[in-house]
C-alpha cells in the first residue's frame, strides 16, 4: 500500500485499511513493557526455581538477593522497583529478625489496605456529614415555610372570625 501525499484524516480511511495498518503497526512496534519488565520477570522466576526448586508454593514472595541480581544490582543507591535504598547491604542481607518475607509483605499489604479502608471511611464520613448538613438546611427551610403557612392560617382564621362577627351584627 503506497501513499502519495499527506493524510488528511484518519477517519477518511475505510475500516478495513485502518485495521490492516494497526495490525502491521502492532507487529512491528515493541512495547516498552515487553522490553523491560517481562524479561526481568522471567529471569526472576527462573532464578527462584533454580534456588528453591519447582514447587512455587515453597518459594518466598520476595528474595532480595535474586531480585537485586535480576534488576542489575544497586545503582546509585537505587534498586529497580524499590527506589532509593538507604542501606543496600541491609536490603540484600535482610533483617536479623525472624520475620519471613511473606510476613513482611503480608504486613505491608495489610497496612496499605487498612490505610485505604481508613481513607474510604473518612471519605464516607465526610459525605455523610455533608448530607446531614444539607438535610438539616432543608428541614430548617421546610420549618420556616410551615411557620409562614401557620401564621397565614392564623391570620385567615382571625379574618374569618372577624367577618363572622360583622355578619352577626
Kindly tell me the burial class for residue 87, based on how many C-beta atoms sit within 10 Å of its own C-beta (0-12, 13-18, 19 or more): exposed
Supply the pTM of this predicted model.
0.34
In a domain, 29, yes or no: yes
Kindly tell me the burial class for residue 67, based on how many C-beta atoms sit within 10 Å of its own C-beta (0-12, 13-18, 19 or more): buried
| Domain encompassing residue 81 | 14-94
In a domain, 21, yes or no: yes
In a domain, 160, yes or no: no
Please tell me the predicted confidence (pLDDT) of residue 101. 64
Cα 27 versus chain centre, distance:
32
Q: Show the low-confidence residues of the chain (pLDDT under 50).
A: 96-98
Reduced 3-state DSSP string for 96-160: CCCCCHHHHHHHHHHHHHHHHHHHHHHHHHHHHHHHHHHHHHHHHHHHHHHHHHHHHHHHHHHHH
Please tell me the predicted confidence (pLDDT) of residue 157. 94
In a domain, 90, yes or no: yes
Q: What angle do CA 115, 59, 48 make, to 5 degrees?
A: 110
Number of folded domains in the chain? 1
Please tell me the predicted confidence (pLDDT) of residue 62. 75
Please tell me the predicted confidence (pLDDT) of residue 82. 63
Greatest extent of the chain over all pairs of C-alpha atoms, in Å:
114
The x, y and z cell numbers of residue 55, run together, are: 514447587
Q: What angle do CA 66, 69, 74 make, to 5 degrees?
A: 120
Helix (H, G, I), strand (E, B) or coil at 79: strand
- pLDDT tens-digit map of 60-92: 777 777 777 777 666 655 565 665 555 555 555
Please tell me the predicted confidence (pLDDT) of residue 29. 64
In a domain, 86, yes or no: yes
Rounded Cα distance between 88 and 81, Å, is 13
Please tell me the predicted confidence (pLDDT) of residue 96. 45
CB 84 within 8 A of CB 124: no
Please tell me the predicted confidence (pLDDT) of residue 4. 63
Site of grid cell 438535610: 135
In a domain, 31, yes or no: yes
In a domain, 108, yes or no: no
Amino acid at each position: 500500500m503506497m501513499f502519495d501525499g499527506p493524510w488528511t484524516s484518519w477517519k477518511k480511511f475505510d475500516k478495513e485499511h485502518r485495521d490492516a495498518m494497526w495490525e502491521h503497526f502492532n507487529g512491528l512496534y515493541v512495547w516498552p513493557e515487553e522490553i523491560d519488565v517481562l524479561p526481568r520477570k522471567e529471569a526472576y522466576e527462573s532464578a527462584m526455581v533454580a534456588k528453591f526448586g519447582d514447587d512455587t508454593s515453597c518459594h518466598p514472595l520476595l528474595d532480595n538477593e535474586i531480585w537485586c541480581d535480576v534488576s542489575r544490582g544497586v545503582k546509585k543507591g537505587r534498586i529497580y522497583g524499590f527506589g532509593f535504598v538507604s542501606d543496600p547491604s541491609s536490603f540484600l542481607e535482610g533483617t536479623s529478625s525472624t520475620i519471613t518475607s511473606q510476613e513482611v509483605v503480608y504486613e505491608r499489604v495489610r497496612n496499605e489496605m487498612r490505610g485505604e479502608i481508613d481513607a474510604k471511611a473518612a471519605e464516607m464520613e465526610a459525605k455523610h456529614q455533608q448530607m446531614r448538613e444539607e438535610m438539616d438546611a432543608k428541614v430548617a427551610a421546610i420549618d420556616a415555610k410551615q411557620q409562614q403557612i401557620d401564621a397565614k392560617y392564623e391570620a385567615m382564621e382571625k379574618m374569618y372570625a372577624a367577618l363572622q362577627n360583622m355578619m352577626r351584627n
